[in-house]
């Protein structure tokens, strides 16, 4: 019975949280060196299982492709480890000589982590590593469409962590797909923080749980190709990004915006690189597949190749097609191409001027994607500065594939699979989330020995105000 399943899921969540709480009490006592050894063991284990987990994820979800998911798993293990291995997260972080102030890193406690179906195994590795690095225990809630591969990744990570000295329960994972179980996990007494990566409804649930949460908003990043750009390189970046795991990375481009003077060259060069510019009928046929009548993304199109999408929509394209492109001019709920599409499909906006491009980019992001990611291809630093000062995003990427640049694979950003969108995007952080987002800072402050004399006029003013209130 469904009722019994929900009860079992809630009980499982409670049990995992209790185990995690006991484990975290021990982790909180571990020195940095011991935590680092545990994290490295997790990284090595997932790196070694990268191909197995990638294959499981594609077979179970039907999203993306094995080759790129292998790359994601290796990125989430080896690349993340290289970025955090020398990071100080617990104990005394700062104690500057001569200053009477110390900063001490303190774990937040037990973390509840929501795992998306688009990145089900790499997310487990990344979140487990940044949690353990900061002395926290973590319990995962898989997406129902990715339960087996997520559970497998969590078990591999947990076994490696325990072998390296982590207490049992440091890494847990729900095995029963149930919203009741997920809610129990997020609202549990032991939960101190929620790391929410998933759809808008799940992120809203995390923020409304009554617990501190780090959630991420939708990605819907435009890519502006400026007339000063190396056009060939720009298009290579966009194609590489949009085809990576068939468009399932939320930082990937969702539209190309150009000035009218660039339209013909972009169409010509783009066609040579695998962009297929759909006619009105083809774009209309595909548009009907992208979203459900209620406005949510159709999961049947997520992570599918351009050739498969064209076939599903009932039209044929050259075998060399890598990305489908639809001409668009407006943004809004009735314009499916102006929204996030987790597949190799792009909108193509053609504007009359640079200022019109800026206005359109802001319009697109205001509709969906505020705070997330924007990409620009330009050699002119003045235009980069102009747009960077006005575009409402947390990641402003220059001359790089957005999917890879946004997660820090091709840029200097912290390597991460949880990308904060800041207040403008409804997120509590604008960071690429790292272990430093999963600790509290305890500040130890001494008296400076410089007690200032009270200002007589200020004291008199405050006294009068207090007397007025008492009357």
Least confident among 190-199, 268-277, 382-391: 190-199
Residue 93 contacts residue 441 (beta carbons within 8 Å):
yes
Residue 462 in domain:
no
Per-residue model confidence as pLDDT tens digits over 169-195? 999 999 998 889 999 999 999 999 999
- Are 287 and 158 part of one and the same domain? no
Q: What value does the mean pLDDT of the chain take? A: 94
- In a domain, residue 21? The reply is yes
Q: Are residues 248 and 208 in the same domain?
A: no
Mark whether 436 and 392 lie in a shared domain. Answer: no
* β partners of residue 110: 137, 191
pLDDT higher than threshold 50 for residue 141:
yes
426 has pLDDT over 70: yes
For residue 320, the model assigns a pLDDT of 97
Q: State the pLDDT at residue 1.
A: 47
Q: CATH number of the domain that 48 lies in?
A: 3.40.605.10
Range with lowest mean pLDDT among 198-212, 281-295, 353-367, 408-422:
198-212
Q: What is the mean pLDDT of residues 122-129?
A: 98
Average pLDDT over residues 369-385: 97
Helices within 28-146 (DSSP H only): 32-48, 50-61, 66-74, 80-84, 122-133
Residue 29 tokens, joined: 């006592």
Residues 6+ apart with CB under 8 A from 275: 235, 239, 321, 322, 323, 325, 346
Q: Are 237 and 400 in contact (CB under 8 A)?
A: yes
Q: What is the 3-state secondary structure (H, E, C) of 358-395?
A: HHHHHHHHHHCCCEEEEEEECCCHHHHHHHHCCCCEEE
- Tens-digit pLDDT profile for residues 103-114: 999 999 999 999
- Residue 411: the pLDDT is 98
Residue 453 lies in a domain: no
CB-based contacts of 389: which residues, under 8 Å, 6+ apart?
A: none
Q: Residue 420 domain-assigned? A: no
Number of domains in the chain: 2
pTM over 0.95: no
Please give the positions annotated as active site: 250
Three-state DSSP class for residue 145: helix
**Burial of 6 from C-beta contacts in 10 A (0-12 / 13-18 / 19+):** middle
Point out the least confidently predicted range of 160-174, 178-192, 445-459: 445-459
Do residues 257 and 384 share a domain?
Answer: yes
- Higher-confidence position of 208 and 382: 382
User: In the structure, what pLDDT confidence band is assigned to residue 294 with cuts at 50, 70 and 90?
Assistant: confident
The reply to whether 313 and 389 lie within a common domain is: yes
pLDDT, tens digit (0-9, with 9 covering 90-100), for 314-328: 999 999 999 999 999
Are 203 and 234 contained in the same domain? no
Range of the domain at 9: 2-216+431-444
Does residue 456 lie within any of the structural domains? no
Residues 202, 275, single domain; the answer is: no
Do 186 and 249 lie in a common domain?
no
243 and 318 in a common domain:
yes
Least confident of 12-21, 349-358, 443-452: 443-452
Same domain, 237 and 383: yes
pLDDT at 454: 64
464 domain-assigned: no
Q: Is residue 209 located within the same domain as residue 259? A: no
The residue with greater pLDDT, 10 or 459, is 10
Are residues 176 and 232 both part of a single domain? Answer: no
Least confident of 32-41, 60-69, 287-296: 287-296
Terminal alpha carbon distance of the chain: 67
């Amino acid at each position: 019975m469904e009722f019994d399943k929900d009860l079992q899921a809630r009980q499982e969540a409670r049990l995992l949280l209790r185990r995690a709480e006991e484990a975290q009490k021990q982790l909180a006592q571990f020195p940095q060196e011991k935590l680092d050894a545990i994290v490295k063991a997790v990284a090595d284990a997932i790196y070694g299982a990268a191909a197995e987990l990638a294959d499981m994820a594609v077979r179970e979800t039907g999203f993306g492709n094995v080759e790129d998911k292998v790359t994601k798993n290796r990125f989430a293990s080896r690349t993340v480890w290289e970025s955090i291995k020398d990071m100080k997260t617990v104990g005394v972080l700062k104690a500057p000589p001569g200053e009477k102030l110390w900063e001490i890193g303190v774990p937040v406690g037990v973390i509840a982590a929501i795992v998306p179906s688009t990145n089900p195994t790499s997310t487990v590795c990344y979140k487990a590593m940044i949690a353990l690095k900061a002395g926290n225990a973590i319990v995962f809630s898989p997406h129902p469409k990715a339960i087996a591969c997520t559970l497998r990744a969590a078990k591999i990570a947990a076994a490696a962590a325990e072998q390296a000295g982590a207490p049992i329960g440091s890494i847990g994972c729900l095995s029963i797909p149930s919203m009741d179980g997920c809610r129990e996990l997020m609202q549990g007494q032991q939960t101190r923080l929620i790391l929410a990566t998933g759809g808008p409804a799940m992120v809203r649930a995390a923020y409304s749980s009554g617990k501190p949460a780090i959630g991420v908003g939708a990605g819907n990043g435009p890519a502006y190709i400026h007339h000063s750009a190396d056009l060939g390189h720009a298009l290579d970046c966009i194609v590489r990004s949009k085809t990576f795991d068939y468009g399932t990375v939320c930082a990937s481009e969702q539209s190309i915006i150009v000035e009218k003077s660039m339209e013909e060259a972009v169409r010509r060069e783009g066609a040579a690189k695998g962009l297929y510019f759909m006619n009105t009928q083809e774009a209309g046929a595909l548009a009907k597949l992208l979203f459900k009548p209620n406005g949510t993304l159709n999961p049947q199109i997520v992570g599918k190749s351009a050739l498969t999408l064209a076939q599903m929509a009932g039209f044929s394209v050259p075998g060399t097609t890598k990305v489908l492109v639809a001409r668009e001019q407006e943004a809004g709920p009735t314009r499916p191409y102006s929204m996030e599409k987790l597949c190799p499909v792009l909108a193509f906006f053609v504007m009359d001027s640079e200022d019109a491009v800026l206005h359109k980019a802001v319009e697109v992001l205001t509709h969906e994607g505020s705070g997330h990611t924007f990409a620009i291809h330009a050699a002119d630093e003045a235009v980069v500065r102009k747009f960077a000062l006005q575009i409402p995003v947390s990641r402003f990427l220059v001359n790089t594939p957005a999917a890879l640049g946004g997660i820090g694979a091709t840029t200097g950003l912290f390597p991460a699979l949880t990308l904060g969108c800041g207040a403008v995007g409804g997120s509590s952080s604008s960071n690429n989330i790292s272990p430093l987002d999963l600790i509290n800072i305890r500040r130890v402050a001494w008296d400076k020995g410089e007690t200032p004399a009270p200002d007589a006029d200020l004291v008199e003013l405050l006294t009068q105000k207090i007397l007025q209130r008492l009357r």
